Chains A and B, each alone.
Chain A
Amino acid sequence: QVQLVESGGGVVQPGRSLRLSCAASGFIFSDYALHWVRQAPGKGLEWVTFISYDGKRQQYADSVKGRFTISRDDSKNALYLQMNSLTTEDTAAYYCVRETKHDNYWPLEYWGQGTLVTVSS
């Protein structure tokens, strides 16, 4: 079955960097586009970034553009999120999410359990 397991979260000071990882299994990793979606404590879902199945296309929310970088390593079935210049506004649970093709639609079907990033001095 499809599994997405995030890691790398923790407490980090404002201005510092952190790298999240997502280990995928149960599917052909290189066939699928992936996203990071975050959720601040007690708040709603916020889409963060997308990477295409072949890694050639990335898209970012304005709130993270220029600070966060998404990447993938198909040889390791892994997705990454490099987060630089972190602020307290980045405090959230970060979910690794896989699209699935249903008919002609591409909803966000598979979600990891999330990894918590806390930005605090």
Chain B
Amino acid sequence: QSVLTQPPSVSGAPGQRVTISCTGSSSNIGAGYDVHWYQQLPGTAPKLLIYGNTNRPSGVPDRFSGSKSGTSASLAITGLQAEDESDYYCQSYDSSLDGWVFGGGTKLTVL
């Protein structure tokens, strides 16, 4: 049971928009801790996708965007492409656990 809750899977057709939610609590996202998102392609290490809730590192397409509100955060992907098929993880910090926490991960399938 992950501290941050993500849907196990989402899907969309090429060109469509999908969102992945990340629900936390008052000791992590709701406490103001930032949310970062990672993309993990099969058999590879995770890659930073979004940092500080809404910011993209250089090289990440602007099709990827992040938002945060209250105790939740979301990752949106527009103009879905086949290469977006991957696992996505949100990450924050939890003051009750005194440590970093990840969501359980969401598998994106491009139909």
Chain A residues packing against B (C-beta within 8 Å): 35, 37, 44-47, 50, 59-62, 95, 102-105, 107-109, 111-114
Residues on the B chain within 8 Å of A107, using CB = 36, 48, 51-52, 91
From B51, B104, B105, name the one whose CB has the most chain A CB atoms within 10 angstroms.
Answer: B51
Residues on the A chain within 8 Å of B101, using CB = 47
Residues on the B chain within 8 Å of A108, using CB = 36, 38, 46, 48, 91, 100
Contact B48 A109 (CB under 8 A): yes
Contact A45 B98 (CB under 8 A): no
Contact with A along B58-71 (1 / 0, CB 8 A): 00000000000000
Contact B46 A105 (CB under 8 A): no
CA distance A62 to B103 in the complex (A): 17
* In the complex, chain B residues 45-92 whose Cβ is within 8 Å of any chain A Cβ: 45-48, 51-52, 55, 57, 87, 89, 91
Contact A50 B100 (CB under 8 A): yes
Q: Which of B34, B38, B104, B105 contacts A105 (CB 8 A)?
A: B34
Chain B residues packing against A (C-beta within 8 Å): 2, 34, 36, 38, 40, 45-48, 51-52, 55, 57, 87, 89, 91, 97-105
A-B contact pairs, 22 of them (CB 8 A): A44-B87, A44-B103, A44-B104, A45-B38, A45-B40, A45-B91, A46-B102, A47-B99, A47-B100, A47-B102, A50-B99, A59-B99, A95-B46, A102-B51, A103-B52, A105-B55, A107-B36, A108-B100, A109-B51, A111-B46, A111-B47, A114-B45
Contact A45 B89 (CB under 8 A): yes
Q: Is the interface of A mostly helix, strand, loop or mixed?
A: strand
Q: Is the interface of B mostly helix, strand, loop or mixed?
A: strand
Q: A45-B89, A105-B36, A111-B45 are in contact. Are A60 and B52 (CB under 8 A)?
A: no
Q: A105-B34, A107-B48 are in contact. Are A61 and B104 (CB under 8 A)?
A: no
Q: Which of B51, B89, B97, B99 contacts A44 (CB 8 A)?
A: B89
B56 to chain A, nearest CB (A): 10
Known: A50-B100, A109-B57. 12 other contacts (CB 8 A): A45-B40, A47-B99, A50-B99, A59-B98, A95-B45, A105-B34, A107-B48, A108-B38, A108-B46, A111-B46, A111-B47, A112-B45
